Amino acid sequence: MSNLRVEHLGKSYGSSNVLTDINLSVENGEFIVLVGPSGCGKSTLLRMIAGLDGVTTGDIYIGDRLVNGLAPAERRIAMVFQSYALYPHMDVRKNMTFGLKFTGVAPAERQRRVDEAARMLRLEPLLGRYPRDLSGGQRQRVAIGRAIVREPDVFLFDEPLSNLDAALRVSTRVEIARLHRLLGATMVYVTHDQTEAMTLADRIVVMSEGRIEQIGKALDLYYAPANLFVAGFIGSPAMNFFSGSVEAVDGGTARVFGVGFEPLALPAGPLDRGAKVTIGVRPEHLRIAGQGPFATSGVVELVERLGESSFAHVRRVDDKMLVVEVRGRETPAVSENVAFRAPLQDIHVFDASGQRVPINGSH
Amino acid sequence: MAEPVPQVVAQMPKAKLIGLLALFLGPSVVIYTAFSIYPLLATMQLSTFTGESGGGVHFVGLANFVTLLTDSLWSTPFWNALKNNMIFFAIHMAVQNPIGIALAGLLSLPGLKLKSFYRTVFFLPTMLSVVIVGFSWNLILSPLWGVAKGALTAVGLGSWFAPWLGLESTALVTLALMSVWQFVGIPMMLIYAALLNIPDELVDAARVDGLGQLRIFFHIKLPLVLPTIGLVSVLTFVGNFNAFDLIYSVKGALAGPNFASDILGTFFYRTFFGNQLQLGNPTMGAAVATVMFFIILIGVCVYLFVVQRRMRRYTF
Amino acid sequence: MFLEQRARALAVHAVLIAYSALALGPILLVVMNSFKSRNAIFGSPLSPPDSSTFSLIGYAKVFRASHIVVYFENSLIVTLVSMGLVLLFGAMAAWALSEYRFRGSTAVALFLSIGIMVPIRLGSVAILNMMRTAGLNDTLTALILVYIAQGLPMAIFILSEFIQQIPMDLRDAARCDGVPETRIFFEVIAPLLRPAIATVAVFTIVPIWNDLWFPLILTSSDSTHTITLGVQQFLGQYITDWNSVLAALSMAILPVVVIYVVFSRQLIAGLTSGAVK
């Protein structure tokens, strides 16, 4: 196992920039998740680490070894693909040992590794079968097994759960987390699903349009998103945003006005008079008969009841939609006009460029 | 395979269904049966008759076949033609298919520039008529013009040159190579299409597993396109044993020199229509055609029952 | 790694260009030299025609001594009519086999597909007799009928595969509207088959246009010859007249090349899609 370092990495095809100035440092044994919307560059970054795509600028170090010019097999990495990529004309055992043949691993050793991986992943009864005779979940386990037998320094996962149905996704996710604990391996995992990111990662790398927006632990991203993008990406349903401006700063307190919420008094922090801000509050932090300086209201248009929690979709005064989580059996009625409040600690403030503004009393 | 018969069709009155089938299937079945199946059967039937001096025919059973295979007047050219056809086929399998596979392999490499240019160029000879190909190469290889000789001399192989088309020992091989030159585009395209079908992620997985491009081709790509190669082989077989146009347009019906380039197609033509050396003999011609049919049938059956059975078609 | 990649790419292109030269060379040679005077053909065969060597003498002879225009017309008629009818009858048959299924449907489909593998030429003996009896000997009609029979099996196969892919919602909607069956085929299904036409065309047009065997056997008079047969006989007759020979060959090459280059994308797409069986 080893660490992984990416320094000032950039990738462009002709004149279009796919990745810009990516800096990332992964500790030995850490589980890092690259998450972001389609086209953000996360898969490209993974492929560059793997050596499947070339580097335009920057350096990649695996185990403190510069790997820029090395072929994938020389980097001591293993990859699990979204579509499993199993060789259809080979049985499971052959699929798992095929690559080892070309990296000079002796037959006895190959056998040993396959048997051990098969035991770990409960693949023993399937070793003689062909991919076409396996279910999606089984195929994915074989793909993981193929990665394990390579005994790589870094494991790479490219959206491995996307092709599985919902129930399988959960069980395979647990499987991968278990493997991580068992092997203590360094893993880089790509997904567009923030739930996978939040549950699997030691640290999450949120990406957008070829750049890293924020790196941090799951809860850090949740409670202290560095910018509007991360704030809106992490957490489901997404954070509610309100546009406003600072009308007055008076002895350390800023008064923020905007459509859709009542005038808000906040600790000024670095805010100046006239500054444009975006106020963010998560659906789960708004309460119907709540406490706190932030107040908004609107007409309930739809209530999604999911059991213990429900989501009310409310039409705001500025005609945008507000989503509020309501717990318990009592839910507001449609076309009812309801008021909500949120406490100071749950208010997020972002400046005109979308960056987080740290105000006293918030994290 | 397909969805169940649509409700509307299943509940249609019999008469209406029959009418529709007659309208839609009728023309095809009639023309096909009349001009494809019936003539074949009629030919096979004719092969069991022999002509009389008065112009009629009488039944002789398998006598024609016996004559064809044993009477030296017929059997010598027959076995010669059959042997030549085998050589013709062998050269195609040995040269055309590997070149087609290699070109397809190169064309399917990721990130190759000018792909469509190469594809268009490589397939161009296949579009030309065999007459054009035959004659053009005839001119080029002709010692009178000297283009081929000049080209070989330029690379220092001038001593290799010989009037290949005119020599008994090399005529057939030369003609076979001309045919390969023309038709390599077909296996190339079919295998290229099959290679395109292989998902990129599979190739990526092989790269991560440590295989270089050459190994990926032989261990991953080639096994997965084996069914297509089987198809190409049987199409080559049928095409070769049907070949006639090229030999005829370069060498004429006599397929010289001294029948060195005679294949079953030219033998059939000569037998049936005659030439300056012999009268046309429809019944013997029919016999030759029947033998050709069975040879092709055996080849196709081998493909259907042995090759296709063994080869798995992989869906992704 | 990058130097290695660059070198490998160069090697690949080198091989491909070499083969391109081999594929194009003979054709260019023939066409180039057809525009040169006889001396230039022999004197400097590899150089293109310039002002001193340019000559159309061969072309003039071809037009004078043969009915190349008639041959071209004949080929055009035979190919287009055969193609059209193969498409029409083939599509109708493919539709009937997949839609109006009855107990013997698979047997009929199998019966029709035999023609893909078994060459029609073997029945030439009987075909010639049939044509003679029907008084169709030495007519373009005879050629057309034979070519339709030849082209149907492959066309039906390709179109059947294609019909499998068509979403049947439009057909169901038409049936709900009470549209009669024949109209459903001609106005709903047939337009959807347009992409398959390229594939069918590749497999049908080229073998018909380039065929030597049936024109040789079924047509005897000069006025019914197709261009392939006409060129072949012209070549045989004027074999020592290099100018004319090269001109005739070029005239046979150029229309095909032009059409091919113009439609190459559709043709190749048709071939690769039809091949993915």
Cα–Cα distance, A92 to A134 (Å, whole number)? 10
Where in the sequence is the domain holding A266, given as residue range(s)? 239-350
Choose one of A201, A232, A263: the last residue of a domain: A232
Contacts of A86 in chain B (CB under 8 A): 205
CA distance C205 to chain A (A): 37
Q: Do A260 and A316 form a contact (C-beta atoms < 8 A)?
A: yes
* Structure confidence by residue, pLDDT tens digits, A107-146: 999 999 999 999 999 999 999 999 989 998 899 999 999 9
Contacts of C127 in chain B (CB under 8 A): 35, 39
* Structure confidence by residue, pLDDT tens digits, C32-69: 888 887 777 777 777 777 777 777 887 888 887 778 88
Do both A87 and A186 map to the same domain?
A: yes
Contacts of C2 in chain A (CB under 8 A): 54, 69
Flag the least confident range among A2-6, A239-243, C250-254: C250-254
Q: Residues of A329-346 as b/e, b for ≥16 C-beta within 10 angstroms?
A: eebbeeeeebebbbbbeb
| Residue C277 pLDDT class (50, 70, 90 cuts) | very low
Q: Does C47 touch chain B (CB under 8 A)?
A: no
For domain C61-275, the CATH class is mainly alpha
Do both A173 and A219 map to the same domain?
A: yes
Do both A148 and A108 map to the same domain?
A: yes
Cα–Cα distance, B63 to B48 (Å, whole number)? 7
* Structure confidence by residue, pLDDT tens digits, B79-128: 999 999 999 999 999 999 999 999 999 988 877 788 888 888 888 888 88
Cα–Cα distance, A155 to A141 (Å, whole number)? 14
Against chain B, the chains showing at least 3 CB pairs within 8 Å are A, C
* Structure confidence by residue, pLDDT tens digits, A76-106: 999 999 888 999 989 999 999 998 888 888 8
Cα–Cα distance, B125 to B52 (Å, whole number)? 46
Mutate to test the interface with A, among B201, B207, B208, B218 (most CBs of A within 10 A): B208
- Residue B180 pLDDT more than 90? yes
| Residue A57 pLDDT class (50, 70, 90 cuts) | very high
Residue A363 is predicted with a pLDDT of 47
Do both A254 and A107 map to the same domain?
A: no
Report the chain B residue with the minimal C-alpha distance to residue C101: B5
Domains of chain B in start order, with CATH, are 63-310 (1.10.3720.10)
* Structure confidence by residue, pLDDT tens digits, C112-158: 888 887 788 888 888 988 898 988 888 889 999 999 999 999 899 88
Global pTM value: 0.81
Domain count for chain A, please give it: 2
Q: Does A88 touch chain C (CB under 8 A)?
A: no
Residue C236 vs residue A182, higher pLDDT: A182
Choose one of A232, A251, A285: the last residue of a domain: A232
Report the chain B residue with the minimal C-alpha distance to residue C266: B120
* Position A360 in a domain: no
- Reading phi first (left if > 0) and then psi (alpha if -120 to 50, else beta), residue A139 is in alpha
Do both A140 and A66 map to the same domain?
A: yes
Q: How many CB pairs under 8 A join A and B?
A: 61
- Of A328-342, B148-162, C172-186, give the range with the top mean pLDDT: A328-342
CATH 1.10.3720.10 in chain C is located at 61-275
Q: Does A70 touch chain B (CB under 8 A)?
A: no
Residue C271 is predicted with a pLDDT of 63
Residue contact B211–A50, C-beta within 8 A:
no
Residue contact C156–B28, C-beta within 8 A:
yes
Do both A168 and A147 map to the same domain?
A: yes
Residue B240 vs residue B149, higher pLDDT: B240
Do both A220 and A254 map to the same domain?
A: no
Q: Does A13 touch chain B (CB under 8 A)?
A: no
* Structure confidence by residue, pLDDT tens digits, A260-273: 898 988 887 888 88
CATH number, domain of A94, equals: 3.40.50.300
| Residue A326 pLDDT class (50, 70, 90 cuts) | very high
Contacts of B282 in chain C (CB under 8 A): 125
Contacts of A69 in chain C (CB under 8 A): 1-2
| Residue A295 pLDDT class (50, 70, 90 cuts) | very high
Residue contact C95–B24, C-beta within 8 A:
yes
Residue contact C235–B300, C-beta within 8 A:
no
CATH number, domain of A273, equals: 2.40.50.140
Of A51, A89, A132, the CB nearest to B223: A89
- Residue C17 pLDDT more than 80? yes
Against chain C, the chains showing at least 3 CB pairs within 8 Å are A, B
Q: How many CB pairs under 8 A join A and C?
A: 5
Residue contact B37–C114, C-beta within 8 A:
yes
DSSP per-residue codes, C39-108? HHHHH-TTSPP-TTTB--HHHHHHHHHS-HHHHHHHHHHHHHHHHHHHHHHHHHHHHHHHHS--TTHHHH
Mean pLDDT throughout A160-188? 90
ipTM of the complex: 0.82
Choose one of A205, A232, A259: the last residue of a domain: A232
Do both A259 and A218 map to the same domain?
A: no
Q: Do A300 and A333 form a contact (C-beta atoms < 8 A)?
A: yes
- Residue C188 pLDDT more than 70? yes
* Position A346 in a domain: yes
Residue contact A70–C1, C-beta within 8 A:
yes
* Structure confidence by residue, pLDDT tens digits, C76-92: 899 999 999 999 999 99
| Residue B313 pLDDT class (50, 70, 90 cuts) | low
* Position A355 in a domain: no
* Structure confidence by residue, pLDDT tens digits, A20-48: 999 999 999 999 999 999 889 999 999 99
CA distance B303 to chain A (A): 20
Do both A144 and A289 map to the same domain?
A: no
Contacts of A146 in chain B (CB under 8 A): 205, 209
- How far are the Cα atoms of A118, A184, A185, A204, B300 from residue A62, in angstroms, in the given order? 27, 16, 13, 19, 56
Do both A28 and A145 map to the same domain?
A: yes
Q: Does C2 touch chain A (CB under 8 A)?
A: yes
Mean pLDDT throughout B56-77? 82
Do both A107 and A29 map to the same domain?
A: yes
Contacts of A13 in chain B (CB under 8 A): none
Residue B148's nearest CA partner among B133, B164, B135 is B164
